[in-house]
């Protein structure tokens, strides 16, 4: 079953990476971790294979669906974003792509919370704090906040709890803001409203690293007319064709820059 992960899609994979992953996966019947949008197979103490699943979810709008074509586009964007961030000294677990929807990554356990950067009041800011900010209000300084990852809905996590868990709020905040600056410069003239990151802590290096994908599934991006290029399309009820068309235009834009 695990061997079939590398057989999906027609993209020309890295021969060395694909061969190494296939050898490590041979005979495996089940993944080491799985969620709504990805499956993870641990290859050894330092590496894993991540298989993206073409699903999109929205707790607020009570939607969880298979949306064909989105896994490939998420990885198209993440591959480009990981390269761009690496050029600016920001670490992620991404190593190399091995198929349309899978990639080799560093093995690094996830922290139990996500780090969210908001340049504009939108999404949960408007829903959870009604009347505090007008929709679309641009913050003078980006807001960085933490949410505890738990079903059915993530919950706000005060900074002091992050510290009590043994983590450095100042370091996580600095990295998140570095990512924000890099994404805004890279994607200009598109507008980055917000995005979320999940970090892991690499015991070997003693550093935090981004373990989640950076893609239109985990951020809000607007074109020059204010139209969404992200999961808000799904939240608003768009179908697979419309979502993939807009996401493809986003991927084409970042690849041509």
Rounded-to-integer distance, Cα 216 and Cα 254, Å: 12
Predicted confidence (pLDDT) per residue in 23-57, tens digit: 556 556 688 888 889 999 999 999 999 999 999 99
187 with 218, same domain: the answer is yes
Contact call for residues 214 and 94 (beta carbons, < 8 A)? no
Contact call for residues 38 and 50 (beta carbons, < 8 A)? yes
Rounded-to-integer distance, Cα 178 and Cα 69, Å: 30
Burial class (CB in 10 A: 0-12, 13-18, 19+), 61: exposed
- Residue that terminates a domain, selected from 106, 132, 149: 106
123 with 249, same domain: the answer is yes
pLDDT band at 20 (very low <50, low <70, confident <90, very high): low
Q: How many domains does the chain contain in total?
A: 2
CB contact set of 16 (below 8 Å; sequence gap of 6+): none
Q: Which residue has the higher pLDDT, 18 or 101?
A: 101
CATH of the domain at 220: 3.30.470.20
Range(s) of the domain holding residue 68: 2-106
- Residue that terminates a domain, selected from 106, 140, 159: 106
Predicted confidence (pLDDT) per residue in 165-210, tens digit: 999 999 999 999 999 999 999 999 999 999 999 999 998 889 999 9
Q: In this predicted structure, what is the pLDDT of residue 10?
A: 45
Nearest to 116 by CA among 148, 164, 91: 148
212 with 251, same domain: the answer is yes
Mean local confidence (pLDDT), 218-223: 97
Mean local confidence (pLDDT), 106-127: 96
Nearest to 78 by CA among 219, 173, 205, 199: 219
Q: In this predicted structure, what is the pLDDT of residue 15?
A: 56
Sign of CA dihedral 65, 69, 72, 77: negative
102 with 116, same domain: the answer is no
- Residue that terminates a domain, selected from 82, 106, 130: 106
Nearest to 52 by CA among 192, 217, 187, 179: 217
Residue 12 in this model has a pLDDT that exceeds 90: no
Task: Specify the pTM.
Answer: 0.90
53 with 150, same domain: the answer is no
Contact call for residues 173 and 179 (beta carbons, < 8 A)? no
233 with 215, same domain: the answer is yes
- Residue 73 has which token pair? 């586009």
101 with 116, same domain: the answer is no
120 with 223, same domain: the answer is yes
């Amino acid at each position: 079953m695990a061997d079939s992960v590398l057989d999906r899609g027609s993209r020309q994979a890295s021969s060395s990476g694909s061969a190494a992953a296939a050898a490590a996966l041979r005979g495996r019947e089940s993944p080491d971790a799985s969620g709504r949008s990805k499956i993870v197979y641990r290859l050894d103490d330092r590496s894993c294979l991540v298989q993206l699943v073409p699903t999109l979810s929205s707790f607020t709008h009570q939607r969880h669906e298979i949306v064909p074509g989105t896994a490939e586009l998420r990885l198209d964007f993440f591959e480009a974003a990981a390269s761009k961030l690496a050029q600016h000294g920001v670490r992620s677990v991404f190593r190399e792509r091995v198929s349309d929807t899978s990639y080799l990554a560093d093995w690094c356990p996830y922290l139990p919370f996500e780090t969210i950067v908001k340049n504009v009041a939108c999404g949960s800011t408007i829903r959870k704090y009604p009347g505090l900010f007008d929709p679309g209000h641009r913050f003078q300084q980006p807001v960085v906040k933490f949410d505890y990852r738990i079903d059915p809905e993530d919950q706000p996590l005060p900074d002091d709890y992050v510290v009590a868990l043994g983590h450095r709020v100042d370091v996580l905040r600095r990295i998140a803001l570095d990512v924000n600056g890099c994404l805004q410069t890279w994607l200009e003239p598109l507008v980055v409203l917000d995005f979320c990151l999940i970090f892991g802590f690499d015991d070997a290096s003693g550093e935090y690293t981004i373990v989640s994908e950076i893609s239109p599934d985990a951020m809000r991006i607007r074109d020059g007319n204010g139209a969404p290029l992200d999961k808000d399309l799904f939240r608003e009820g768009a179908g697979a064709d419309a979502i993939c068309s807009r996401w493809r235009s986003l991927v084409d834009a970042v690849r041509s820059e």
